[in-house]
Amino acid sequence: MSMEIVTAGPMLSVQDAGRFGLRHMGVASAGPIDSEAMTLANALVGNASADAALEFAGPAGSFRCTRPCRIAVAGADCSIRIDTRPVPTGESHRLLPGEKLTIGRPDGAVWAYLAISGGIDTPLILGARATHLRFGLGGMQGRSLKAGDVLPLGEDHPDAPCLRPGSPLTGHHPFNESGPIRLILGPQDNAFAPDIVARLTKCIFTVTPQRDRMAMVLGETTLPAANGHDIVSDGTVPGSIQVPGSGMPLVLLAESQTTGGYPKIATVASVDLARLAQMPVGAEVRFALIGATEGEDLWIDRRHRLQQVIAALTPKTEQVFRSEYLLSCNLVGGIFNPKEVMRPVMQHRKDTRTETRDE
Amino acid sequence: MNDPMTPTLLPCGDCALVIQLGETVDAAVNARVTALAGALEVAAAAGSVAGVQDIVPTYRSILVRYDPMQIRGGALGDWLLELAVRPLSTSGQGRYWRVPCLYGGEVGLDLDELAEMKGLCPEEIIALHSGTDYRVYMIGFAPGFAYLGGQPEILHTPRLPKPRQNIPRGAVGIGGQQGNINSVTGPSGWRFLGWTPVRSFDPDRDEPFLFRSGDQIRFYPISAEEAQDLDARSAAGEIVIAPEAMPT
């Protein structure tokens, strides 16, 4: 019951929902940069949202499983092949033992997620499986994955159906929104003169190549502080916008340090943090200011909408069964009702990228 | 400027709030931070407030992360302010640790240069560094990383202009007016005068973290042989020191 990493891309790691309640001990949550995308990938293979999956930036790599499983990729469109057969992003597929799954880079975004039914069952470290790369915690010995790694998989239900969204998703992400990234001023906006704070909404920022799971640096517009860039260190959160001496804003992400000594001019609204982190290098970023209460309202609404997307997932028709698959399903034992699985799914939007379906 | 002890709420997005009790590095402010964070933990554990996910005490403020599905920031802020103005005892807080330190050597590579900078001999630096009770002002930056305050002024030394890459776990250093014990191996711009075989963070141990904010630490010099012995025991998962009675 395991998955072998046949080849690994440059940034491939085990992530689950993350570690909580340990920030006072200096431990960031880690976990996915885009938790909504990972939740969708997990749901497509019947996993709970907290189950461990793989996060990747750049090409993911290739994989083999020792048992039949369902796999799904979400977060961004990626080229996916099972052996030589192309299959679409944003819905789940069966992967049989011996078949090679190959996944390319996220198109037009940065972070994407590969979920495997049953979840990845690496040991819990400080209560979670999420990899904290900087401090070497969790996942596979605290590091990104490499060729030859073998990941244990959790219990699976081999007769459960493959799923797809009830209605089409743009870009294989549950929420593909546009418009400015919303910010909440503070906690140290008063360290900046009013005309510098005004730059946040008047000027354009760009995504620079300086980015990882800890933070992303923005360019084009600088934000010099009125009286230097050192403060008495205080607490940070993912989304904190720190401004070091360079004046270039640094947006903290899932793996950021828990305290920092730079003034934080604003915090990215939870509803928009993943969208910002998914912007490719060179993308232009515009900001808009909202209040904390509005941020809470937007975030609560978003989480309800995510639950609706998950609840609306629909079994796919799997009309062409290969013999190995039928054998693995134990049809004779009556565990598996073909009528259930052959039930027609809702009419799906025709997408040029998904013409080669495996059904 | 506010009275340094007047609690102020600072916005920190839509899932966190900061309650600030002062503006500077100050033992009295930090003692109040520790006491308030302790009271918040007790209240949250007792269920008197829902949805609190993290309580992070720092030098002069506390960051509280919450889930807006369970509690709104407005209500949480009112509750924090109400608790912050109640009388809180700051006496008897924290534990007292005597921490063995192998001064100089491979890890304490800045000891001689530091002595030269201060016009002292290395033995005098060691006597100063180990003759002081430090307060753990906060745990941050890295898992279990303790920021130590109360360093004698003569030991205050600016950070290096360029950080060094591989400072080992256990390195004991000075950065500006603060002291530290490295909890994990990593880059650092601090100056290092020694090494402790005590592991302030070990994820494989039942108690992964050793120090908490509000604790007091005093270093004592040990020989290379003692350090080696303690290191072997630490590597086997043993916590080789125990908290002692706070000196009066």
Do B67 and B17 touch, CB atoms closer than 8 A? no
Contact yes or no for B143 and A135 at CB 8 A: yes
Cβ within 8 Å of A, B 187-216:
201, 203, 208-209, 213
At A227-243, the pLDDT tens digits run 888 888 899 999 999 99
* Percentage above 70 pLDDT, chain A: 88
Q: Tell me if B91 is assigned to some domain.
A: no
Q: Are residues B114 and B225 in the same domain?
A: yes
Return the pLDDT at A324. 54
User: Taking CB atoms and an 8 Å limit, are B15 and A270 in contact across chains?
Assistant: yes
Q: What is the pLDDT of residue A322?
A: 53
What average pLDDT score do residues A301-329 get? Answer: 78
**Eight-class DSSP state of B142:** S
Nearest-CA distance from A234 to chain B in Å?
5
* B183 interaction partners in chain A (CB closer than 8 Å): 26
Portion 242-261 of A in contact with B at CB < 8 A: 257-259
> How close is the nearest chain B Cα to the Cα of A241, in Å?
10
Nearest chain B residue (CA) to A271: B14
Q: Which among B20, B56, B208 has the least Cβ separation from residue A24?
A: B56
Instruction: Report the range of poorest mean pLDDT among A245-254, A344-353, B223-232.
Output: A344-353
Residue A226 burial by Cβ neighbours in a 10 Å radius (0-12, 13-18, 19+):
exposed
Lowest mean pLDDT among A92-101, A173-182, B217-226: A173-182
pLDDT at A177 over 70: yes
DSSP-based three-state secondary structure for A145: coil
Check whether residue B68 and residue B187 sit in a common domain: no
Q: Do B26 and B80 fall into the same domain?
A: yes
Say if B140 is an interface residue toward chain A (CB within 8 Å).
yes
Any domain includes B90: no
Domain endpoint, select from B84, B105, B124:
B84
The ipTM, to two decimals, is 0.92
Q: What is the pLDDT of residue A325?
A: 53
| Same-domain pairing of B48 and B101 | no
| Whether residue B73 is found in the same domain as residue B159 | no
Do B72 and B105 lie in one domain? The reply is no
pLDDT tens-digit map of A47-94: 999 999 999 999 999 999 999 999 999 999 999 999 999 999 999 999
Q: What is the pLDDT of residue B186?
A: 87
Print the SS3 string covering A18-55.
CCCCCHHHCCCCCCCCCHHHHHHHHHHCCCCCCCCEEE
Cβ distance of A240 and B23 shorter than 8 Å: no
Same-domain pairing of B205 and B105:
yes
Beta-carbon contacts of residue A261 (< 8 Å; ≥ 6 apart): A230, A231, A232, A233
* Distance (Å) from the alpha carbon of A287 to chain B's nearest alpha carbon: 14
Contact B218, B198 (CB under 8 A): no
pLDDT (tens digit, 9 = 90+) per residue, A98-132? Answer: 999 999 999 999 999 999 999 999 999 999 999 99
Element (H, E) at A317: none
Q: State the pLDDT at residue A7.
A: 98
In a domain, B151, yes or no: yes
Distance CA A153, CA A66 (A): 10
Residues in chain A: 359
Residue A205 pLDDT > 70: yes
Range of the domain at B125: 96-235
Q: How far apart are CA B83 and CA B80, in angstroms?
A: 5
Let me know whether B25 and B111 are in one domain.
Answer: no
DSSP 3-state assignment of A194?
helix
Q: Residue B139: pLDDT band by 50, 70, 90 thresholds?
A: very high
Model pLDDT, residue A230: 83
- Say yes or no to pLDDT of A155 above 70: yes
Average pLDDT over residues B199-211: 94
CATH number for the domain spanning B157: value is 2.40.100.10
Give the count of domains, chain B: 2
Residues B137 and B182 both lie in one domain: yes
CB–CB contact A135 B16 (8 Å): no
B53 → chain A, closest CA residue: A21
Interface test with A, best of B14, B70, B185, B200 (most A CBs within 10 A): B14
Q: Assess if residue B166 is contained within a domain.
A: yes
CA distances from B228 to A227, A289, B130, B195, B241 (A): 47, 56, 20, 11, 15
Size of interface A-B (CB pairs under 8 A): 136
Please tell me the number of Cα atoms within 13 Å of B221 on its side-chain side. Answer: 16
pLDDT of residue B105: 93
> What value does the mean pLDDT take over residues B148-169?
90
Residue A319: per-residue pLDDT: 59
Q: Does B62 touch chain A (CB under 8 A)?
A: yes
The residue from B46, B62, B84 where one domain ends is B84
Choose the closest CB to B60 out of A20, A136, A232: A232
Beta bridge partners of A11: A57
Pull the structure tokens for residue A315.
């079994």
Tell me whether residue B248 is in a domain: no
Q: Which of A178-192, A307-321, B168-182 shows the lowest per-residue confidence on average (mean pLDDT)?
A: A307-321
Q: What is the CATH classification number for the domain harbouring B76?
A: 3.30.1360.40
Domains of chain A, CATH where assigned: 2-175+317-353 (no CATH), 181-307 (2.40.100.10)
Mean pLDDT of chain A: 89
DSSP state of A137: B
Cα–Cα nearest to A7, from A71, A68, A56: A56
| pLDDT value of residue A357 | 27
Q: Are residues B74 and B114 in the same domain?
A: no
The proportion of chain A whose per-residue pLDDT surpasses 90, expressed as a percent, equals: 81
Range with top average pLDDT, A338-342, B149-153, B226-230:
B226-230
Which A residues 157-216 touch B at CB under 8 Å?
A: 184-188
Closest CA of chain B from A102, distance in Å = 34
In 3-state terms, what secondary structure has residue A116?
strand
Q: For residue range A26-56, what is the model confidence (pLDDT) as tens digits? A: 999 999 999 999 999 999 999 999 999 999 9
> Is the pLDDT at B4 greater than 60, yes or no?
no
Residue A323: its pLDDT value, please? 52
Q: For A329-352, what is the mean pLDDT? A: 37
Same-domain check for residues B123 and B44: no
Residue A318: Cβ within 10 Å count: 16
What pLDDT sits at residue A317?
86
Q: Are residues B133 and B78 part of one domain?
A: no
Least CB–CB distance from A295: residue in B14, B53, B143: B14
pLDDT 10s digits, B89-107: 877 778 999 999 999 999 9
3-state class (DSSP) for residue A70: strand
